[in-house]
A and B are shown apart, each in its own frame.
Chain A
Amino acid sequence: MKRDFDVIVVGGGHAGTDAAHAAARAGASVALVTLRRETIGVMSCNPAIGGLGKGHLVREIDALDGVMGRAADAAGIQFRLLNRRKGPAVQGPRAQADRAAYMLAVQNALVERPGLSVIEGEATDFLMDGARVVGLSLGDGSEIRAAATVLTTGTFLRGVIHIGDVSRPGGRVGDKPSVRLAERIDSFGLALGRLKTGTPPRIDGKTIDWSAVEMQPGDADPTLFSFLSKAPTLRQVACGITHTNERTHDIIRGNLGRSAMYGGHIDGVGPRYCPSIEDKIVRFADKSSHQIFLEPEGLGTDTVYPNGISTSLPADVQEDYVRSIRGLAAARIEQPGYAIEYDFVDPRALRRTLELREVPGLYFAGQINGTTGYEEAAAQGLVAGLNAARAALGKEPATFDRRSSYIGVMIDDLVTRGVTEPYRMFTSRAEFRLSLRADNADQRLTPFGVALGIVGEDRCRAFEAKARDLAAARANLEALTLTPRELRAAGIDVAADGGRRSGFDLLSFPQIDYAMLASIAPGLDVHAPDVREQISRDALYARYLERQERDAAAIARDEAEAIPDHFDYAGLKGLSNELRDKLERARPETLGQAARVEGMTPAALTLLLARLRRARRKLA
């Protein structure tokens, strides 16, 4: 069949841009369809990238040569490494971003990418060939044909915006919903759920009394996202911190009936980790104050994003309570906060490639899958775009697993367990957290990306150089062996008992660092600082990594056991109805994935394995 492009990506948000870029890197010709070219890469919620778990995702996107990490570095106006005083496995890079600079960086990345075209238009319907999606029709009546289509349209499915008791249909503020496309998706018969999310009012920074609030500068020694970035490019700024007080709470309590959520206008489930200010005051009534970060939206704007007071109260109440807050007495609201409700598709309908199981050729990424957050969206975009391209080019799928990436953790959680609230990444979701660190995302994923052909030459070379240095440093450390006596002679305090130990072992001792060993063995100081740091971290966790590797090996075996698409669970005698229902919904692709379906028992797994073996033998 004739095609205009290999891959179409619908939507120019964080999922869409990393999807289109990944598909192009994978060698596909790509059309990114968006309503307005100038809104590509817009940050519609808070002006920040990264954080705990999220920062890990950005590093992984970067390790695969994606867009988000470099764009965030180019737009960063305040970098902070969260959990700086905790162990390296749980440190997450985060940055405040200049909205305009971020959009520009993303748009430039797309423009510079060969094989990627941007088409302005409204996606109104899919072109179908039987059950398969083979392209898109646009609002102007034109049609684009492609082998694979990635839909990344965020909250457009029955999106409703609420400001107090006023509500109107729409995606983010300013966008119009597409009714026909929604009807087409309905015709696929997918299971849908309803979620909500909110934003705070935006404030004119010139009307904030900055002298009355506490200021938080960025890190003196900024940690960037991209393995290729060296230093921030924009001027760095501080954020303000203020707090709500009893009067704020009184105003909100007195107007709860006018809040969209408490007035009964919203049915969707909101995220528990990002509650509205109404929610906070109702659920934690004994707390007399809540923290608010005043985040500048950029260097060329005065708009400030007050992080911590998202709301669906009417505009006049928003103004009242904002002005009750220290430093905000004269604040002018530029745009009131609002809540948005939208449908999401139960992600258990997806394969690990993010292709819909029942609608070949169609991939979903981002909020439509029940997730929240730019980073979660971009990571899904990368997976969907990469796989859409590979499918279009007739290549094998590329999947990510829980043992080697946060991306794999997220995809597995989504397609195996589904979501009940907007899904956000946390480090606690990763059972192999100690090995899935932000600092070693390149070690974990860049070789995979190189093998897939989606990593550019610059990164490839930089990575190989670092890998060589790491291996040499490791060999030097293993070759260096010291006795307690020798260590004490060098002024390092260790217990007298115990034998000769390698430099690598010694690095796991809390009182010994790389510099001390380098002072004893001068050959060690030839290695690059990031290599020294990473190898120290490997040593710190070595004991745990061995244990995690054993667990991972056990999982690997089950992951190798594939379950065919149309496996007949109904024909499995001895499964409870509840479990059968869950398995049919999630349709796990491997035995390992089946093991993670809620309520799975060892007996049911054995049964499943036996049936798989029998089926294979019959085929043979």
Chain B
Amino acid sequence: MDTVFAMSTAPGKAGVAVLRLSGPAAHEITEGYAGTLPPPRELRLRRLHLPCGGLLDEALVVVFDAGQSFTGEPVAEWHLHGSIAVQRKALAALGAEPGLRPAEAGEFTRRALQNERLDLVGVEGLADLIDAETEVQHRRALAALGGQVSKKIGDWRADLVRAAALVEATIDFADEDIPEDVFGEVSSLLGRTKTSLTEELAGSPAAERLRQGFEVAIVGAPNVGKSTLLNRLAGRDAAITSDVAGTTRDVIEVRMEIAGLPVTLLDTAGLRETDDPIETIGVDRARSRAATADIRVVLLGPGDGRPAEALEDDIVLTAKSDTATSLSEGVSGLTGAGVDALVAELGHRLQGRTQSAGIFDRERHRIAARDALEALDRAEVHVEEGPHSAELAAEELRAAARALEGLLGQVGVEDLLHEIFSSFCIGK
């Protein structure tokens, strides 16, 4: 039985995010990250270290023994900080562990059933639920890019079926009148699929943003009008404003829609050196959140120059420009001057980012794609070795298709045979 893992809490930012591992290696893996395991069923604070070095998070960790867990298997739960970056890092690190894989939809529940751990009352509704989830995913896959997604998946499928069929034909119909020199075409099909998968992987972060939302951080010196601008953009008093510098201590988030895209606006503490320990924490948070945001709007006080720490693609604006008529003159949260122009600019930039958005918008997709790519790499090596390694090339092609199965739908042997029989005259 594999060990599987997944976030057990809803995606996105939250106070706490629970990552669950279930399976024989769940405890051992947790011990690797946490150093020591807490006693079973007791919550303990642990610093989780990544295998490649570096701190993942400080988290509450709890482990359950086999027979005393939700799934009936050894289970570990990591109660992480609900930061998207932390969650993503954790999932990526676990995905790279040998023998671990992301849980399929409903897999924890299925294991619980299999091990007779789940109360069966009401379980009939479960299938509907899981179906609903996959159906929504499917609909999205079909609809998201106006059929482009299904076309792309269809193209991969056709290429992989064709490549596998060519290889299988040389194996199963060796005594027939079919050409042996199919390996050139197989190579080019493999190359094409690999390139396309690689491109999709590169576009995956943008795709995830499309699903989970972009972040726009408003940063700047204290009392420069960040919160006022946030309230104006949000159309409500989300942040407390006052004349007192340093009013905003924590990061304030507002969900809104810009140019049809989901956006989380972040209002942050004003950046300054301070002796106030609470404000210091706020300033640190502001810096770290701003660093991972997709776009930073840097507000300047009247007469301030562009700060050295502003990045090239930050939007740098003069705040409190109550009579501004264009973005170059600045913006005013108070009067709303320049706000439309700012929204337009944000929309323009965010849409630019969606251009590269791929169809993989989940860690599960990325891991599947990376597994498939690795299998295709190995297949390529065997294809180059020529006919005597045909069965190994075929094995890796199967592995690639299996990795992508959730996206492609199953590639069955009948698909291969159909391709073989329509391509070659078989039957001596």
Q: Which residues of A contact B (CB under 8 A)?
A: 51-53, 82-83, 85-87, 89-90, 94, 271-275, 280, 283-284, 287, 290-293, 307-308, 310, 426-429, 431, 433-434, 544, 547, 550, 553-554, 557, 561, 573-574, 601-607, 609-610, 613-614, 617
Contact = CB atoms under 8 A, between A and B. Distances in A.
Contacts of B390: 86-87, 90
Contact of A604 (B104, B127, B428): B127
A53 B175 CA distance: 13
B343 interface: no
6 contacts: A85-B387, A273-B427, A290-B425, A573-B124, A603-B106, A610-B126
Given A86-B174, A427-B172, A602-B107, 15 more contacts: A86-B390, A86-B391, A274-B426, A274-B427, A275-B425, A292-B428, A307-B428, A426-B168, A433-B395, A557-B114, A561-B114, A601-B134, A602-B110, A603-B105, A613-B120
Given A86-B391, A557-B1, A614-B120, A52 B427 contact: no
B392 interface: yes
B76 to A, nearest CB: 21
Contacts of A51: 175
Closest 6 CB pairs of A and B: A607-B127, A272-B421, A603-B130, A291-B177, A284-B425, A308-B428
A274 B427 CA distance: 4
Interface string B99-127: 00000111101100110101010011011
A603 B114 contact: no
A287 to B, nearest CB: 6
A82 B173 CA distance: 9
Q: Which of B107, B130, B416, B425 has the most CB of A within 10 A?
A: B425
B209 interface: no
B29 to A, nearest CB: 17
Contact of B427 (A87, A308, A605, A607): A308
Contacts of A275: 425-427
B171 interface: yes
A607 B114 contact: no
Contact of B388 (A53, A85, A291): A85
A336 B126 CA distance: 62
Contacts of A287: 425
Nearest to B398: A431
B327 interface: no
A427 B394 CA distance: 11
A603 B131 contact: yes
Interface string B134-169: 100000000000000000000000000000000010
Nearest to A433: B391
A280 B427 contact: yes
A82 B175 contact: yes
A290 B392 CA distance: 30
A431 B173 CA distance: 17
A279 B240 CA distance: 81
A607 B118 CA distance: 13
Contacts of B398: 431
A283 B171 CA distance: 23
B106 A606 contact: yes
B356 to A, nearest CB: 31
B384 interface: no
A86 B171 contact: yes
What is the predominant secondary structure among interface residues of chain A facing chain B? mixed
Contacts of B389: 87
Interface in B284-310: none
Contacts of B134: 601-603
Contact of B2 (A86, A291, A554): A554
A52 B116 contact: no
Contact of B127 (A94, A291, A426, A574): A574
Given A52-B171, A90-B171, A606 B417 contact: no
Contact of A434 (B113, B177, B395): B395
B172 A426 contact: yes
B376 to A, nearest CB: 16
Nearest to B176: A291
Contacts of A427: 171-172, 391
A252 to B, nearest CB: 14
Interface in B239-272: none
A602 B105 contact: yes
Nearest to B128: A574
A274 B421 CA distance: 10
B413 interface: yes
A426 B171 CA distance: 9
A87 B174 contact: no
Given A429-B413, A609-B113, A553 B1 contact: yes
A45 B41 CA distance: 69
A128 B2 CA distance: 50
A567 B403 CA distance: 33
B105 A86 contact: no
Contacts of A94: 175
A89 B168 CA distance: 13
Contacts of A284: 425
B391 A89 contact: yes
B130 A610 contact: no
B2 A607 contact: no
B272 to A, nearest CB: 54
Contacts of A272: 417, 421, 426
Given A87-B389, A90-B391, A427-B171, A613 B116 contact: yes
Contacts of A428: 168, 171-172, 394, 413, 416-417
A574 B109 contact: no
Contacts of B394: 428, 433
Contacts of B417: 272, 426, 428
